[in-house]
Amino acid sequence: MTEPVAPPESIAVPPAFVSVENASLYYGADSDVLALQDTSFSIARGEFVAVVGPSGCGKSTLLKLISGLSLPTAGRVIVDGQEVRKPLKNIGMAFQNPALLPWRTTIDNLLLPLQVVRPHRHEFGRKRRQYVDHARALLAKVGLEGVDDRFPWQLSGGMQQRVSLCRSLIHDPQILLLDEPFGALDAFTREELWDTLQALWEEQKFTVLLVTHDLTEAVYLADKVLVMSRRPGRVTYSAKIDLPRPRNEDTRFTPAFVEHVRDLRRHIGHARSTP
């Protein structure tokens, strides 16, 4: 094996926290569906990266690779200096479907990761009060107060998605993986949640990979946007978004922002028309 060639501007780039190196992945009983082909990219610690691309190009698959839920058929994934060979144990995930447990109240849904993840699971009995306070504080940050004892079906879709977001963050995950978490929400709720997520990220600077089909969302939230080609997917373009933070509604109407979106759209169009 040869060492991966460092990009020329590596002096300026912070060391990679997550790095995907020439990863390919086949699906299907006979491994005949090539979902990802020879994909490479990296994410720095605390970086906010968004992935966009045509439907079915392997975006969700990419998240599975990074979390170790799937292993690459060829190439490798490295997280924090270690090659990923089995599922990582401290990841936060949220999806388009909030996937809350309907028999648990909001608070108990939030406590789920702490009952599972090490070392918290062993301290859960002792530290329950402390964990509950932590969960309450997190709920307050996303604008959810007084719903602690409600069940998921007593919450609106937007509220459920907020709870789901909190659940993905409560245990201080190594990496946050978001798969179109705002895809099913109405425009206003979605924009509200962008700001919620941005504020949480500004405060805690976790490492995020956000899959989305909304270019505005990608540019608004991310430091870097990756564009994938249609299946078999690979990262064909990477755009650095250097807009000042915190970004707000006005940012979305600045010429620089619009230019970024237009640039991505061009590359997506390109990705869709060429295999």
Partner 1 sequence: MKIRRALFIASPWITTLSFFLLWEAGCRLFNVPSFVLPAPSAALEALIQYWPGIWVNALQTFLTTLVGFVIAVVFGVALGVAVGASAVLYRALNPLLIGFNSIPKVAVVPILVLWFGIGTVPAIITAFLVAFFPISVNVATGIATMEPELEDVMRSLGASRLDILYRVGLPRSLPYFFASLKIAITLAFVGAVISETVASNQGIGYLMLSASSTFRVPLVFAALLVIAAMGICMYAVAAWFERRHTKWTIRSTEHSRFAVGG
- Contact positions vs partner 1 (CB under 8 A): 64, 67-69, 87-93, 95, 97, 99, 101-103, 112-113, 115-118, 151-154, 167-168, 171, 177
SS3 208: strand
Return the number of the residue (67 or 106) whose C-beta is nearest ligand ATP: 67
The residue nearest Mg ion at its CB is: 60
Task: Tabulate helix, strand, coil % of the chain (nearest 5).
Answer: 40, 25, 35
Contact 56, 230 (CB under 8 A): yes
- Give whichever of 4 and 68 is closer to partner 1, judged by the CB atom: 68
* Residue 19 β-bridge partners: 42, 78
- 115's contact among ligand ATP, partner 1, Mg ion, none, with CB below 5 to 8 A by partner kind, is partner 1
Site string for ligand ATP, 18-37 (x = CB under 6 A): ---------xx----x-x--
Task: Build a one-symbol-per-residue string for 86-105: x at contacts with ligand ATP by CB under 6 A, - elsewhere.
Answer: --------------------
Considering the rule CB under 5 A, would residue 22 count as an interface residue with Mg ion? no
Of residues 233 through 262, those in contact with ligand ATP by CB under 6 A are: none
Backbone torsions φ then ψ of 260, nearest 5 degrees: -60, -45
Which of partner 1, Mg ion, ligand ATP, none binds 28 (CB below 5-8 Å, type-dependent)? ligand ATP
Q: Which of 23, 49, 57, 94 binds ligand ATP (CB under 6 A)?
A: 57
Subset of 55-94 contacting Mg ion (CB under 5 A) = 60
> CB burial class (10 A; 0-12, 13-18, 19+) of residue 146?
exposed
Cβ-Cβ contacts under 8 Å for 50 (sequence gap 6 or more): 209, 210, 211, 212, 217, 218, 219, 221, 222, 224, 225, 226
Judged by DSSP in three states, 174 sits in: coil
Q: Tell me the HSE value of 203 on the side-chain side, using a 13 A CA sphere.
A: 11
User: Which residue ranges make up the site for ligand ATP (CB under 6 A)?
Assistant: 27-28, 33, 35, 55-61, 231
